[in-house]
Amino acid sequence: MCGDYSVPVTTAAALERLRYLSLATFRANGATVATPVWFAAVAGVLYVVTAGDAGKVKRLRRSSRARVAPCDARGRVNGAWQDVTARLVTDLAAITRAQAALGAKYGWQKRLLDLFSRLSGRIHRRAWIAIDV
């Protein structure tokens, strides 16, 4: 997605206009691992869905320290990094709101992802991440 990234994007509402976000989590040795993710904002919090056994989930269990930056689908960062706090979400009400927001933002692509997740049996092993900007 194109845009003027010379001005820092610092709020959930400002980030919501983007299609992809690079989420960087930290290994125990301090090295960052960045991954492009879909996300949606709900009440000032960004929500991400991912595989429950993904590396970023394991790293977030150890530390809530993370960074985000605007990026393209391949993860090429095209804006400034911002320090954030990320946590795993287990509250069903929050997950339901996040699912609705992701569905509204990504439409048929989200429905297709859900279909393949159901067919593969992975839909019940998903992890939800909340990012406080």
pLDDT tens digits for range 68-99: 999 999 999 999 999 999 999 999 999 999 99
Query: How high is the pLDDT of residue 6?
Result: 44
Listed by start position, the domains of the chain span: 12-132
Nearest to 128 by CA among 98, 106, 100, 103: 98
The DSSP secondary structure of 22-63, one letter per residue, reads EEEEE-TTS-EEEEEE--EEETTEEEEEEETT-HHHHHHHH-
Q: How far apart are CA 19 and CA 80, in angstroms?
A: 16
Contacts of residue 10, Cβ cutoff 8 Å, sequence gap at least 6: 82, 133
Query: How high is the pLDDT of residue 2?
Result: 43
* pLDDT tens sequence across 33-53: 999 999 999 999 999 999 999
Residue for token digits 């979400």? Answer: 89
* Residue 132 DSSP SS3: strand
**CATH class in words for 12-132:** mainly beta
Q: How far apart are CA 54 and CA 61, in angstroms?
A: 11
Provide the percentage of residues in the chain whose pLDDT is more than 90: 77
